[in-house]
Structure 1
Amino acid sequence: MSKLNNLPDMNDTIVISQEQQQSYRRDGHAMIRGLMRQDEVSSYRNLISDIVREHNYHTKPLHERDTYGKAFIQVGNLWKLNPIAEKFVLARRFAKVAADLMGVSGVRIYHDQALFKEPGGGHTPWHQDQIYWPLNTNHTITLWMPLVPVPAEVGSMRFVSGTHHNGYISKQEISDESHKTFKDYIEGKGLEQIDYGALDAGDATFHSGWTLHSAPGNPTANMREVMTIIYVADGTIISEPDSNARKNDLAQWLPGLRPGDIAASPLNPLVYP
């Protein structure tokens, strides 16, 4: 318990600029540099890495996996696995930025995910996150934060500006097929792609659930260690799942709830205000 109490709680708040808010609402993505200080990241990084190693479900070597399996090691709801991870995920500082970017008064956790891209790991195909989420709102946002420095050749995710205004573009789940479909869509319309380049540990990108995005592979010898937290506006209603992916998400991340209910199960705590 003393170790938990000695960790920085990040329950202070920061003010983001009107320009950052307007840019996010226009483009569907934003960069917030230094959302965590280096000493704060150092306090949490090893613990989060230990959880990911413990819960890594991959049993095949990298070269024997499919495209999705090569993209990353994925572990969800770390905040329910360890009280130190809980302190990280429920940080008020992060949640207020998410609320301010979306322009809403309060946000709940939808779920968190560690996304660790192994050395030699493959690209993350183009996709939209919200095809998985049975949520009747456009007010969803994902924080994506590296716990280690990320060089330019790995970089941030790549975002397609303005695509969050279009809602569903394709219902394809993340795959080789989604990558081709969305690549043709982006190139056919000549849409702007933004990559924020090299990141320090503690920098964070935010993107809307509908924003088209992808990520390059990891050609380096180091693990790309990233934590993500998905937020949804407080008061959001659960929609009728229209795909198996959304049915699975309803059962996994909104347990005990039904379409028409407010997205507020015990797994979806209010983190701001």
Structure 2
Amino acid sequence: MKLIENTEFGGERPLFASHDLHINNVTIREGESAIKECSNIVATNCRFEGNYPFWHVHGFTIDNCYFAVGGRSALWYSDHLTMKNTVIDAPKMFREMNDIDIENVEINDADEIFWRCNRINVKNLKLHGGTYPFMFSNDIRIDGFESDSKYVFQYVKNVEIHNAKITTKDAFWEVENVTIYDSELNGEYLGWHSRNLRLVNCHISGEQPLCYAHDLVLENCTFDSECDRAFEYSTLNADIRGAITNIKNPTSGVIVADSIGSVTIDENIKAPANCEIKTRG
């Protein structure tokens, strides 16, 4: 593997079509497509300031690097990436990619990241700001996740999340086959129009959670007092620990809680309208 270190590049495509290359302590200055159409690339202790540095790259490692604001849209149409110990201040990262491994990464402008990606494995990821992370992505495994981005995990499939703190709005809409363990989910309109969404040992806050959900499962979950109008038009099996403030028009299934503030069943409930709602006793 060829080594290039302690230097800088700028302009258009300075390392185009490179293969079997290790860059160390290299700065990519203003310009475009520095490492495009490449394979078997290792980048360590590098700084990326120019646009689109890693496009159409097959097999690469990024460790202890920094992406400045100018390094936007840096990782597109690529596969088999391992990224560790990296800070990203640029938006629109990770697009149309396969086989991504992430560990100890912080993204400070999470706008439109991880779109249409497949097979993402994450350990300790922090997202700040931005909208719609993980849109249309599939086969995601996460352990250790913190996010204050809006509209996270929309239209995703086959997702497993552990140990997350998610503060957002309209999260997990139109998802399919998603399980979340030991996590805190804060925000309005959680999990609407989901299919096979399962929450285990989670705490939920925000108004109108989990409506229009199909085959929703809650195991040993707790709700904040502001969670009103929960489960409207949902089919579910819910085991709630502690109290839930209000349940409205669930379609079918079973809901069990330690206590229930109120239940709203009105003329707008949808068939079969046979959900069993009861307190634990």
TM-score (structure 1 length as normaliser) = 0.21
> Which protein has greater RCO, CA pairs closer than 8 Å, 6+ apart?
1
Taking structure 2 as the reference length, what is the TM-score of the superposition? Answer: 0.21
More strand by share: 2
Structure (1 or 2) with the greater helix fraction: 1
